[in-house]
Structure 1
């Protein structure tokens, strides 16, 4: 373990450190970080492995990477800050802030529907131009012109990358700042988080490249993957592949404000963002707003995009336990009953749990199978909850 894992860990969380080491020794980890704070005190801050297999460059204390959809939580937090200030109304029509959006079946879309992945724009039908994801104005115009995939508000379907532009444009219109600048000014700056939505020209962190998951012969594909591979005009295929050539290791992608999947951070950076929420200290949002942020606002037995049961708070993922589902629908992310946060493709996660005052994050470069959690990250979550005296996650969330 000493040769692989660096950092500090409270003795109470020794089992988590052991699981983190096992990820490298047994579960194919390359480079990763894990961080936990409890009641504002950092109790786990570990990192290890290789940041770049091509060069052998080690993962360092301040190494960061793309954290994919963990970025959605940062975007949702920006929206909730504006809601808390009375500048953005959850149940107001989007047209109040963004008039050009209200056409092609989207006229009655509300702000809440956007946060709930119910705004019926999980994908774009026509090809995105090369580099389109790096062009904010182009993507906003495409979303304005796109026809709704269903009647907004009647169902939810995960808005893979589009969430960052739908909710992010509301943040931009209401605040007068770009999404990345608002996040930097109102969240990352005050909390000291190394977390960027669009890397500024004068910032050059040590970025570890993402390593794509390579399917194994004995893999059982999810329903999402089957649809993605067999139906090119499906929501699954369009949301995943119609991206204008976006690649997470492209320096242009790092500078673009891709709020649905392009944030750059590490576990420590995400924990810095979540700690004020876990502690309910009022520095980012009021106690009432925090309570609302942790409540389920939409749930379904079959998400229109992911094709599994999903549960969301307003812009955040809640504990999702699909272990009892049939093969192809078992992707899960099991956290505390009051916890809220977000996963990132391949197995990243960050969340706050106000019940126990815990902020947790795990990030890595070697993607795992699927879009929710895999054994590497879930084992760390489980160890953290056990260290805090939680008994079981059998009911679908960790309970004491």
Structure 2
């Protein structure tokens, strides 16, 4: 099956178009889009495939999809902006802003430690349900009361979903606004982009329908066989709230109820153009907006967590700043100065402050660790710039 690729690239960027086209090989149910902004100007805007294989709806230029953990990168921009404005301090205890968080020995956990996956809350000890995770107050109260899963100060473990509630509650405590509202007011509305943390009802029919490749299903099926407590597995399911793949045919992040809720560890919804535009605005004036200054970026992207996590896992390992995913063997960007966040199944958004680039790749065909789609596109971009 031949996939027709729509859009354009500027002269000299043709290798990116080729890499994007190659991403569809032998994936007839895949849809995706790619957008790259350099110096505030679009240099690549491509899309193709199907947004919903159930009815054949085609992927359009502005098709949004769930961006999974890329959402953490966007929430980290919010936190960094509050630090820049002097309203938040990475070195201050979380409990200074959120007193209940001091429970169970967490009184000295700093904002920076929470953002860099060192808070000991990578999974809930309690089994949460879908009803729980669409109830903001319920989830943050559970996490505030919880005893850490490991001795604090001894390492980090990726907070796959819980990161968003912890960071989002810090944002809410400082601003008095929900994380989705603050995101809209600070980023999405000024830039005029299709991006949400908590999808409004009027856009309910727009997101792509997501499907999971068999290798990724098999990977999680093997993980499920490990003895309890399997905290990395529970970090994805939260108990009984989500399928471990994060979606089923009609459930998880394919369900309207989940998309509507503010789940800032994984529930952001955006188009590729929105993703690239937002990351561009972090490092360069874009549509009249600059989100962070250079000093803030330098501070927020200092490595805080790296190497083997507390509960193990195979290398390569990611590196983390204050919520931002940094360039590493696990996620290569364009160089050491780049930062952003990737997301389950293949999503990638990042900024390059040196070259003033914003990058966004989104897809509804979820793949596992062998996924090279965005990696090959980034490699093509690297060869050009």
TM-score after normalising by structure 2: 0.91
- Answer yes or no: is 1:237 the counterpart of 2:233: yes
Aligned partner (choices 325, 332, 335) of residue 334 of structure 1: 332
Q: Once superposed, what is the RMSD of the aligned Cα atoms? A: 2.2
- Rounded to whole Å, the distance in 2 between the matches of 1:273 and 1:130 is 30
Higher mean C-alpha displacement, 31-40 vs 126-135: 126-135
- Rounded to whole Å, the distance in 2 between the matches of 1:356 and 1:178 is 33
Kept in 2: contact 1:63–1:207 (CA 8 A): yes
2:374 corresponds in structure 1 to 377
Higher mean C-alpha displacement, 123-132 vs 101-110: 123-132
Deviations 1:57-96 (A, max 9, x none): 1001111110100000111111111111111111011111
1:118 corresponds in structure 2 to 118
Kept in 2: contact 1:124–1:239 (CA 8 A): yes
- Rounded to whole Å, the distance in 2 between the matches of 1:128 and 1:252 is 16
Displacement after TM superposition at 1:200 (Å): 2.1
Displacement after TM superposition at 1:202 (Å): 3.8
Displacement after TM superposition at 1:204 (Å): 4.2
Kept in 1: contact 2:156–2:305 (CA 8 A): yes
Displacement after TM superposition at 1:6 (Å): 0.5
Kept in 1: contact 2:283–2:293 (CA 8 A): no
Query: What are structure 2's unaligned runs of at least 5 residues?
Result: 243-251
- Answer yes or no: is 1:357 the counterpart of 2:348: no
Displacement after TM superposition at 1:29 (Å): 6.5
SS at match of 1:48: strand
- Rounded to whole Å, the distance in 2 between the matches of 1:102 and 1:44 is 47
1:170 corresponds in structure 2 to 170
Displacement after TM superposition at 1:301 (Å): 3.0
Deviations 1:246-294 (A, max 9, x none): 3010001111000000000121111111112232788212221022233
Query: What are structure 1's unaligned runs of at least 5 residues?
Result: 322-331, 389-400
Higher mean C-alpha displacement, 18-27 vs 68-77: 18-27
The structure-2 alpha-carbon separation of the partners of 1:358 and 1:216, relative to structure 1 and needing over 3 Å to count, comes to closer
- Rounded to whole Å, the distance in 1 between the matches of 2:198 and 2:35 is 23
Q: Describe how 1:98-177 pairs up with structure 2 within 5 A.
A: 98-177=98-177
The structure-2 alpha-carbon separation of the partners of 1:144 and 1:294, relative to structure 1 and needing over 3 Å to count, comes to closer
Kept in 2: contact 1:113–1:152 (CA 8 A): no
SS at match of 1:384: helix
Higher mean C-alpha displacement, 304-313 vs 13-22: 304-313
Number of equivalenced pairs: 372
SS at match of 1:239: helix
- Rounded to whole Å, the distance in 2 between the matches of 1:83 and 1:126 is 32
Kept in 1: contact 2:215–2:367 (CA 8 A): no
The structure-2 alpha-carbon separation of the partners of 1:374 and 1:285, relative to structure 1 and needing over 3 Å to count, comes to same
- Answer yes or no: is 1:250 the counterpart of 2:255: yes
- Rounded to whole Å, the distance in 2 between the matches of 1:184 and 1:50 is 28
2:298 corresponds in structure 1 to 291
Displacement after TM superposition at 1:358 (Å): 1.1
Q: Describe how 1:253-332 pairs up with structure 2 within 5 A.
A: 253-279=258-284, 283-302=290-309, 304=311, 307-308=314-315, 309-321=317-329, 332=330
TM-score after normalising by structure 1: 0.88
Kept in 2: contact 1:62–1:206 (CA 8 A): no
Kept in 1: contact 2:282–2:291 (CA 8 A): yes
- Rounded to whole Å, the distance in 1 between the matches of 2:310 and 2:189 is 35
- Rounded to whole Å, the distance in 2 between the matches of 1:262 and 1:360 is 19
Displacement after TM superposition at 1:295 (Å): 2.6
The structure-2 alpha-carbon separation of the partners of 1:239 and 1:61, relative to structure 1 and needing over 3 Å to count, comes to same
The structure-2 alpha-carbon separation of the partners of 1:198 and 1:190, relative to structure 1 and needing over 3 Å to count, comes to same
Displacement after TM superposition at 1:151 (Å): 2.8
SS at match of 1:289: helix
Higher mean C-alpha displacement, 198-207 vs 78-87: 198-207
The structure-2 alpha-carbon separation of the partners of 1:302 and 1:216, relative to structure 1 and needing over 3 Å to count, comes to closer
